[in-house]
């Protein structure tokens, strides 16, 4: 009897996940639920905590949990996800320790102009100190964002 070993290609899975995405890094002096509440009220989105896609990491024998908020634009295939980048001293993307939140836009085309308008709107939220688009080349641990 032949025994076959199958190996999951994590790099390919990650590349597929990040196809048609944009990632923003945000520094803000607020809790994640308050930040999402402000976005919902000021920009008109409807972010909700999605415990089904919460990111679980195990490092140094400890469990870390990173909440993910989700909003899908009605009648489209455009999904927005906000990750809290820090939990109990550990970071989801350690290369961006200065970023409190990571905003992933995935799905339908999200043109440069829409991204620019979103950035300008988020800058107006009280407590937001910095928002910048993060390019895939600078993300070393992007597999941590895959749910």
Assigned domain for 55 exists: yes
The CATH number of the domain where 114 resides is what?
3.30.310
What burial class does residue 121 get, using C-beta atoms within 10 Å of its C-beta: 0-12 exposed, 13-18 middle, 19+ buried?
middle
**Is residue 104, in this structure, part of any structural domain at all?**
yes
71 domain-assigned: yes
Q: What is the pLDDT of residues 18-35, one digit of tens each?
A: 678 899 999 999 999 999
Residue 49 domain-assigned (yes or no): yes
In a domain, 10, yes or no: no
Asked if residue 9 is part of any domain, the answer here is: no
Q: What is the 3-state secondary structure (H, E, C) of the chain?
A: CCCCCCCCCHHHHHHHHCCCEEEEEEEECCCHHHHHHHHHHHHCCCCEECHHHCEEEEECCEEEEECEEEEECCCCCEEEEEEECEECCEECCHHHCCCCEEEEEEECCCCHHHHHHHHHHHHCCCCEEEEEEECHHHCCCHHHHCC
Q: Which residues contact 114 (CB under 8 A, 6 or more apart)?
A: none
Query: What does the pLDDT profile of the chain (147 residues) look like in tens digits?
Result: 667 665 555 666 666 666 788 999 999 999 999 999 999 999 999 999 999 999 999 888 899 999 999 999 999 999 999 999 999 989 999 999 999 999 999 988 889 999 999 999 999 999 999 999 998 777 777 777 776
* Residue 11 counted as domain residue: no
Count how many residues are written for the chain: 147
What is the spatial distance between Cα 87 and Cα 73, in angstroms, rounded to a whole number?
A: 28
Q: Could you give the angle at the alpha carbon of 47 between the alpha carbons of 11 and 134, nearest 5°?
A: 40
Q: Specify the number of domains making up the chain.
A: 1
Q: Is the residue at 95 inside a domain? A: yes
Can you give the residue range of the structural domain that contains 57? 18-145
Pairing of strands 90-91, 62-66: unpaired
Instruction: Kindly report the pTM of this predicted structure.
Output: 0.86
């Amino acid at each position: 009897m032949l025994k076959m070993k199958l190996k999951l290609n994590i790099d390919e899975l990650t590349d597929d996940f990040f196809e048609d995405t944009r990632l923003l890094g945000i520094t803000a002096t607020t809790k994640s639920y308050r930040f999402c509440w402000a976005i919902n009220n000021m920009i008109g989105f409807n972010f909700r905590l999605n415990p089904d896609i919460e990111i679980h990491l195990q490092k140094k024998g400890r469990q870390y949990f990173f909440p993910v908020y989700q909003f899908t634009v009605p009648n489209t295939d455009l999904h927005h996800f906000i990750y809290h980048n820090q939990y109990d001293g550990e970071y989801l993307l350690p290369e961006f320790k200065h970023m409190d939140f990571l905003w992933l836009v995935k799905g339908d085309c999200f043109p440069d102009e829409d991204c620019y308008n979103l950035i300008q709107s988020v800058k107006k939220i009280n407590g937001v100190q910095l928002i910048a688009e993060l390019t895939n080349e600078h993300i070393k641990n992007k597999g941590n964002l895959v749910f």
